[in-house]
């Protein structure tokens, strides 16, 4: 079973920094980092008009389905997906088996440039996520051990 994903401020800032740099260097519209289980971890660029929660969930579903397909064909995985639209294109890749990097780009960029920049960013991200995993196993989620039953009950007050 996967362990819980905990993102602390320090690593979060590193991750966002890498996404910002990738957004700029790849001339992309937007960059997203999504957990394999469908949680949005970080976003950069023109994200205002996008439903990022849905995007994260559907991307994870897409990667999961493609992974299932790969297994059926005896492949370990299909690490990269590319969807070409009339205006916007989507480049999806797996980073370190754990997170999904999504780049949305238009005619201001090209697939070649995106692939090149993604390669570099993936190495950096993989490094940060190794730290994140190590930290999660070390610390656990200590803040939540202080949650009381009343805290939980209060949450459901209006339901």
Binding site for other proteins (CB under 8 A): 1-9, 12-13, 35-39, 41, 51, 53-54, 57-58, 61, 64-65, 67-68, 140-147, 149, 151-152, 154-156, 159
Q: Three-class SS of residue 78?
A: coil
Nearer to other proteins, 84 or 146 (CB): 146
Q: How far is the CB of 120 from other proteins (least distance, A)?
A: 24
CB of 77 to other proteins, least distance (A): 13
Q: Which is nearer to other proteins, 47 or 57 (CB)?
A: 57
> Exposed, middle or buried by CB within 10 Å (0-12, 13-18, 19+), for 17?
middle
For residue 70, count CB atoms less than 10 angstroms from its CB and return exposed for 0-12, middle for 13-18, buried for 19 or more. Answer: middle
Distances (CA, A) of 134 to 5, 59, 125: 10, 26, 14
Minimum distance from residue 111 beta carbon to other proteins (Å): 27
Comparison of 112 and 156: residue with beta carbon closer to other proteins? 156
Non-local CB neighbours of 114 within 8 Å, separated by 6+ positions: 26, 28, 91, 103, 105
Handedness of CA 116, 89, 34, 26 (dihedral sign): positive
Nearest distance from C-beta of residue 81 to other proteins, angstroms:
15
Instruction: Find the shortest distance in angstroms from Cβ 72 to other proteins.
Output: 8
> CB-wise, 107 or 152, nearer to other proteins?
152
């Amino acid at each position: 079973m996967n362990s819980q994903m905990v993102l602390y401020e320090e690593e979060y800032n590193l991750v966002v920094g890498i996404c910002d740099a990738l957004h700029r260097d790849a001339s992309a519209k937007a960059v997203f980092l999504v957990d394999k289980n469908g949680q949005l971890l970080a976003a950069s660029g023109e994200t205002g008009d996008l439903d990022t929660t849905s995007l994260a969930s559907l991307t994870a579903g897409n990667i999961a389905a493609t992974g299932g397909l790969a297994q059926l064909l005896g492949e370990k995985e299909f690490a990269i997906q590319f969807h070409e639209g009339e205006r916007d294109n989507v480049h999806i890749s797996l980073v370190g088996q754990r997170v999904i990097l999504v780049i949305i780009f238009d005619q201001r960029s090209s697939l070649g440039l995106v692939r090149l920049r993604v390669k570099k960013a993936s190495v950096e991200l993989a490094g940060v996520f190794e730290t994140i995993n190590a930290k999660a196993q070390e610390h656990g989620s200590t803040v939540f051990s202080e949650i009381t039953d009343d805290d939980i009950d209060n949450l459901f007050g209006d339901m």
